[in-house]
Structure 1
């Protein structure tokens, strides 16, 4: 039994007129009449009191004991959403949330032969919200519009919507890459996606280094070792340079004043700076040409810190320190 039939039959069984039921609920008699004809649905906030008034539970009122069709579920939720939008016509955040709900329902009904026109309503709301004064709502809506246009193959409209996203928007790179693929511009798509991976890999590596620092500040050596290993594994898995992979273990060895280990790691790190990085995962990214002119700019600050920082005195006292540092110092100062 549908909700309109439940309302009508229970009202009649209780000997109530439409006016009497409306009075108990604080609504108009025409509203009850529309419910019973299936032209409209009660506001979601009325459902508990309506169920109590009719002497049924919510499952019975909403016919959850029976299977509802996709059309019934969609129409019911869509009506509730539209009622709220009429109550708050200028609330862009509500409109954006309703659009997301309707999109979700559209996915739910994707396998049905007949589907309520939810997606079109959702994207009408997104288009409206793209003009919102709230920058968060505005960009989020433009993002959804761009994704839809890309999916539909409307590359010109997709390009226009992407211009509404700030350069720092987290999905701009991926969406632009998807658009370039639709346009057959594969090389650009490769470059964009590799840039996204490279950026996120470095962000993740940086986050793990911060967690390593925090563990060391709290004196938790065991947890510091966990984050150190995670940072090293992440750098290796995501194809970052040896310099990135060695940063965490060198940092930990320095704090622990493990001279032999720190010296070995330092040697490997300096070696990585002076030799070209060959990225397996980033073949389409432009490669930096580390020439003899640019290499000293990378090495000099590091070598100066190693030589002057009091915290590294234990390292400078290690046998073999000068043998490790001298070749790189020569690259910076030139032949003597």
Structure 2
């Protein structure tokens, strides 16, 4: 943000008019107007008085501050998430500009990388642009993986390992996996108790709902992977049993209904059963068009008015694009490539 914009924003926050600022500093009103438009700059001798008038210090006026508070990061991330629902490119530029403004704020950089990485997966931008943006996100995460902040460092390493596995760069993935401690103490319940005493039961319950959602989603992903492993080792009956458990889990924990179909699709893909795959892909696509009504679950209802809660109401088409891209690019779907019925199904949803 330019100094002129800062003067304007802080002036309005202080409830001052341009005329009042001009009177206080003994300059003309047009001079203040020119500062705010960026046409000219205040004389250096006026800066201490200007900062006092606007109730800020010189560091804030000149962006010497290198870190943002947790609250400021949270507010920006919420704005970024909302923008990403409409335009990934706009959100990407917004995040990039913020990082330029605060290049040493590791927590901010990691948070931006997390939001944009999730948005990139569901975006409809072309593959070349997607690779370009992915490269930048990886660069940001590699920076934060060296952070002195342990939480940021470990989280960044975990995310990088996941991305490198996705790119089938297993050597690089292992480098970052080795940086993650084997055992990290889970302080969730203690944190919940502290929040309840400091900020109230609702705030603590909201925090716990988020942790629960994260944990349940992780368990769901573990089960998906276990199904694949059982198929690979020839334990087909075990894979089917785990698929049934995974299906029931969706209802029990109020997850998105398409998750009931995914375990059976994983089995069909492993067995290269074309007919079954097409039938299940149809079901997955149909379910993906229905919003995840997470707020109707007693487990997550506090998310109703949050960015996360609202975002799940409109991800259907993005999910279709992501699935189509996965089938087109991943080796395990090779047997489905060129299937006219499948192409017709996707074209119906993507028209």
Q: What interval of TM-score do these two structures reach, taking the shorter chain for normalisation?
A: 0.3 to 0.5
- TM-score (normalised: structure 1): 0.42
Q: Which has the higher contact order (CA 8 A, sep 6+)?
A: 2
Higher helix residue share: 2
- TM-score (normalised: structure 2): 0.40
Larger Rg: 1
